[in-house]
Structure 1
Amino acid sequence: MKLRIPDADVLWDTLPDARRHERTLHVQPGDLDDLNHVNNTVYLAWCEQVAREHALRLGMGTDALSALGAVPVARQHVITYHRPAVLGDAVRVRTALTLHAGVRSVRAYALDRVNPADPEGGVRLAECQTEWVWVDPVTGRPKRAPETVTERFGFSDAVFSR
């Protein structure tokens, strides 16, 4: 079941820069399945890649988070596919941190084809949401993210939703 959180692009313009990140990728031969479409697992890999880039941009990569005593692990991914991407397509992947409360955070993603002939804003290929649970990197037990993490990712209060 899809979480009832807006997709990344719905909130995009209202979120602080620290809560959003985007990258444009180009479909390569190794991304394709037997039908010559981007394989479904590639969409998820792209989402995770852009999420990691976002964390690294904020100085919150895995090593930094481990040193602070809490790392996020995926609890659930939900992907809705609308159209296939094919070899050579330019795909913009946007991620936005949409919720952070207690030991959970949610990232939303919007994946759009942005080829030169596409309409302004692109053509929606897929949406994804990932629910992350913060855990202690030593024990693996759920743990609230440290305040430094919360602040660095653009949240300022104890309970966050938007």
Structure 2
Amino acid sequence: MKLSIPDADTLWDGLPPARRHELRLRVGPEHLDEMNHVNNTVYLVWCEQVARAHAERLGLGTDALRALGAVPVARQHIITYHRPALLGDRVRVRTALTVHAGLRSVRAYTVDRVNGGDPPQRGLRLAECQTEWVWVDPDTGRPRRTPAAVIERFGFASQPQFPARL
């Protein structure tokens, strides 16, 4: 079941920079499967890479989060694949933190090919992903409310933002 949260494109321009991040990469041989296109699991790896880079950019890498007493763990990933990426393709991976509600956060991701000749600015959509993250105590693994410092640094208002339906 897909979470009823807007995708990263819908929100991208309207979100503060603290709530979004982008990586660019080139498809290498290590990303390919026996069909000579990017393996479906690589898209998830890219989504996790952009999420980690986003957190690290804001000073919220794993060590910093552990020190604050809460780390996010994935509860659910939903990926929709549209077309394959091939060797040498230039790829843009974007993430946007779309929702924060107490124990949970949702990230939306888009993966676009941005080769010369692809539609300018948008690129050619390869995949979309959403991940629901649950915040837990790093020592006990038990659910824990997100620390206020994390909420603020990721650009959310001081009060959690509740979606119409999560």
Do they fold alike, i.e. is TM over 0.5? yes
**Deviations 1:54-82, CA, capped at 9 Å, x for gaps:** 00000000000000000000000000000
**Conserved in 2, the CA contact under 8 Å of 1:98 and 1:161?**
no
Superposed CA RMSD in Å reads 0.9
**Conserved in 1, the CA contact under 8 Å of 2:27 and 2:86?**
yes
Give the corresponding residue for 1:146.
147
| 1:32-43 mapped onto 2 (5 Å cutoff) | 32-43=32-43
**Conserved in 1, the CA contact under 8 Å of 2:81 and 2:128?**
yes
State the secondary structure of the residue aligned to 2:161: strand
Name structure 2 gaps, 5 residues minimum: none
| 1:7-156 mapped onto 2 (5 Å cutoff) | 7-120=7-120, 121-156=122-157
State the secondary structure of the residue aligned to 1:42: helix
**Conserved in 2, the CA contact under 8 Å of 1:101 and 1:158?**
no
Q: Percent identity?
A: 74
**Conserved in 1, the CA contact under 8 Å of 2:89 and 2:114?**
yes
When normalised by structure 2's length, the TM-score is 0.96
The Cα shift of 1:158 comes to: 2.4
The Cα shift of 1:161 comes to: 4.5
**Conserved in 2, the CA contact under 8 Å of 1:27 and 1:90?**
yes
Counterpart amino acid of residue 34 in structure 1: E
The Cα shift of 1:9 comes to: 1.2
CA distance in 1, matches of 2:10, 2:158: 22
**Deviations 1:92-120, CA, capped at 9 Å, x for gaps:** 00000000001000000000000011111
Give the corresponding residue for 2:158.
157
The Cα shift of 1:160 comes to: 1.0
Name structure 1 gaps, 5 residues minimum: none
Counterpart amino acid of residue 39 in structure 2: N
CA distance in 2, matches of 1:31, 1:2: 26
Indicate how the Cα distance of structure 1 residues 17 and 7 shifts in structure 2: closer, same or farther if over 3 A, else same.
same
